Each structure stands twice: as structure tokens, then as C-alpha cells.
Amino acid sequence: MDTSRFSSYLRSHADIDPNIIGQLLGQCSIQKVAKGDFLLRTDERCKHSFFVEIGLLKQYIIDSKGKEHIIQFAPEDWIVSDRESIFYDQPSTYFIQAVEDTFVSTISQEEIDRLSLSSPEFMKFNNRLLNNHIRQLQKRIIQLLGASAEERYLDFIKVYPDLTQRIPQTLIASFLGITPESLSRVRKELAR
């Protein structure tokens, strides 16, 4: 397994000098994460970002009652991390776990910081990724506060078009903030 998918992603999404891309790829390591295994657990300090080459990850919290709340899924070509833990060097509140056998390109925050200092183009790209992440989280908060279950499900299909065939309904329901029974009703209504 190599970083070819990450390389393609960088070349198509970032206006960065090919030498900088080469430096970044040279510092990446490929990690296999078996289904059910963790890249990050709550209370650990996050030091890396993970680009999904093949497979699927979920990022979630567990509330005080033991209920899982999925914050995001990360299928192929997605980057996932706990930026709060990285930036503030504090224990994570999240779990990042493999939903399927997954290969990730692992990028250290030290390398991201080093490239950001040496390359304005890379810094701009990294800031764009961060701002996109913030935008998606804000959109998610607005949906959870005011959108109907049907609207949330339709947006889920739009954001993650192939995941309905790859993950159990219970995980989709957790992401949407509804029960599996409510999700079944939504799907039946939309099928009519």
C-alpha cells in the first residue's frame, strides 16, 4: 500500500509546488487499521491527521449515559483528526475508529507545521482545509438544531452518497441524532 491516493488528492486539490508535495508524502506513513480498531481514543493526545486511502473511519463521542454520537464519517479521500487536541495539546474528547478495514496515510502535526512555515501555498491549503472543516461542523450544528430527520437524512445521502450501502442503519441513525426506528420511518416515507 502506498500514498498514491493522497498524492492524487494533493495534486488535484492543492496549488502547491510538487517538491512540497513530495516532502509531505515522504514524511507520511501508511497505517493499516483493522475493522473495530482505533486511531485515537478519548483522553489520548492527537498528534496526527489521517487521510483515508481505502476504507472508512468514524469519529464519535460517548455521552455520560454511554450513548455513542457520531460526529463524522471519513471514507476514502477524507482527512480526519482532532484539531482541538492537536492545537491545544490536550486530551481528545473523541474516538476515531475503523468501521471497515482501513488504510490511512498518517501525517504528523510537526510536519504540517514545518511545511506551513516553509511554504505559503501549503499554509493556504491547510487553512482552506481547516475552514472547510469548520464550515461543515457549523452546518451540522444548524441541522441538528433545526432540520427535520428527513432533511438530515437527505443531506447525509448528499454528503456520503455511497455509505448507505456500507454501514449499518444504527450508525446512520447515530450520525443523524435519531433512533434506528425513526430512520426506518424516514426511509419508508422517502421511498413512497
Distance, in Å, from the CA atom of 126 to the CA atom of 86, rounded to the nearest integer, reads: 14
| Rounded distance between C-alpha atoms, residue 70 and residue 58, angstroms | 7
Segments in the chain forming alpha helices (H): 4-13, 18-27, 83-88, 109-118, 120-146, 149-159, 169-176, 180-191
Give a yes or no: residue 132 inside a domain.
no
Residues 6+ positions from 111 with CB-CB distance below 8 Å: 24, 27
Asked if 30 contacts 1 with a C-beta cutoff of 8 angstroms, the reply is yes
Compute the distance between CA of residue 111 and CA of residue 142 in angstroms, rounded to an integer.
34
Residue 85 lies in a domain: yes
Q: Which 3 state secondary structure label does DSSP give 32?
A: strand
> Does any domain span residue 153?
no
Domain CATH code at residue 110: 2.60.120.10
Residue 80, domain member (yes or no): yes
SS3 state of residue 69 = strand
Q: Of 59, 82, 81, whose CA–CA distance to 70 is shortest?
A: 59
- The grid cell for 65 is 449515559
Inside any domain, residue 84:
yes
Query: Poorest-confidence range of 10-19, 93-102, 124-133?
Result: 10-19
Whole-number average pLDDT of the chain: 92
pLDDT in tens, 139-184: 989 998 999 999 999 999 999 999 999 999 999 999 999 999 999 9
Answer whether residue 181 is part of any domain.
Answer: no
Task: Note down the domain range covering 108.
Answer: 4-118
- Whether the per-residue pLDDT at 11 is higher than 90: the answer is no
Asked whether 56 and 163 are in contact (CB, 8 A), the reply is yes
Helix (H, G, I), strand (E, B) or coil at 10: helix
Interval 32-60: pLDDT, tens:
999 999 999 999 999 999 999 999 999 99
pTM of the model: 0.90
Answer whether residue 95 is part of any domain. yes
Quote the number of domains for the chain.
1
